Amino acid sequence: MRSASPTAGGVDPARFGPDKTALAIWKGNELLEILTRQGMDLMATASWIASEINRRRPDRVRIDGIGLGAGLVDRLRQMDHTVEDVNVSERAHDADLYVNQRAEIAWEFRGALERGAVSLPSDDALIAELSAFQYDYDSKGRIKLERKDKTRRELGRSPDKADAALLGFDAANKRTSGLAYIGGLIVNLDTGVAHDPVEFSGL
């Protein structure tokens, strides 16, 4: 029997090089842990994520589908896993207040953290990455998050754990956004419209 608190996952993918693929596991508003792997090719990464999905049976998994993440999403869907392809650079749900979804999710997470509404594990790397995020405003007065490459320069590494944590937080809080592979169809979670994968060109 499932707990009332949903289990959710957030994935920030990487391939070779210094960056790590990070998988954040949330139970409601508690971040249970963040798992990382480094130096794996796309197929190995997909197999690892699939094994964790099979083991933990999360209600939702959100993946940063920008760049190589698109291939990871495709492979996991081919393996018949329901995952959501998220492009955090796209329009925010509250476009009058935030520049994009990345800023929106990060700001909402920051607010929840300040209210004591979320629980984090003891993870120095994660805390350092979250603390490195800097906020500003655009010409319309909307909140924006500094570019990821700037955060990378300041940290000396990519904020892989923080990005995965934010995606998992967003998934655990039931934001309906992006695309999911459900029952053999591509479903737009914003509109509920389902498409045949053969005909769908929105990925």
What are the extents of the domains in the chain? 7-195
> C-alpha angle 47/53/58, rounded to 5°?
160
84 phi, psi to nearest 5 deg: -105, 130
User: Does residue 76 carry a pLDDT above 80?
Assistant: yes
What the block records as the tokens of 52 is 């964790």
> Which residue, among 144, 140, 133, 146, has the nearest Cα to 98 in the 3D structure?
144
Q: State percent of the chain over pLDDT 70.
A: 82
Q: Please give the pLDDT value at position 203.
A: 39
* φ/ψ of residue 189, rounded to 5: -75, -15
Nearest-CA neighbor of 83 among 200, 201, 189? 189
Percentage of the chain modeled with pLDDT above 90: 65
Sign of CA dihedral 121, 125, 126, 130: positive
Question: Is-contact 168 142, C-beta < 8 A?
Answer: no
Give the pair of three-digit tokens for residue 117. Answer: 């509404």
Note the helical H segments in the chain.
42-56, 69-78, 101-114, 124-132, 148-155, 160-172
11-20 residue pLDDT tens: 999 877 788 9
Provide the pLDDT for residue 183.
53
Alpha carbons 40 and 42: distance in angstroms, whole number: 7
Q: Which residues pair with 72 in a beta bridge?
A: none
**The model's pTM:** 0.81
pLDDT digits (tens, 9 = 90+) for 122-158: 999 999 999 999 999 999 999 999 988 888 888 888 8
Query: Span 192-197, mean pLDDT?
Result: 60
Total residue length of the chain = 203
Query: Are 9 and 99 contacting, i.e. CB atoms less than 8 angstroms apart?
Result: no
Mean pLDDT of the chain: 85
- CA atoms of 168 and 65, how far apart (whole Å): 14
Question: Of 1 and 126, which is predicted with more confidence?
Answer: 126
* CATH topology (fold) of 7-195: Nucleotidyltransferase; domain 5 (3.30.420)
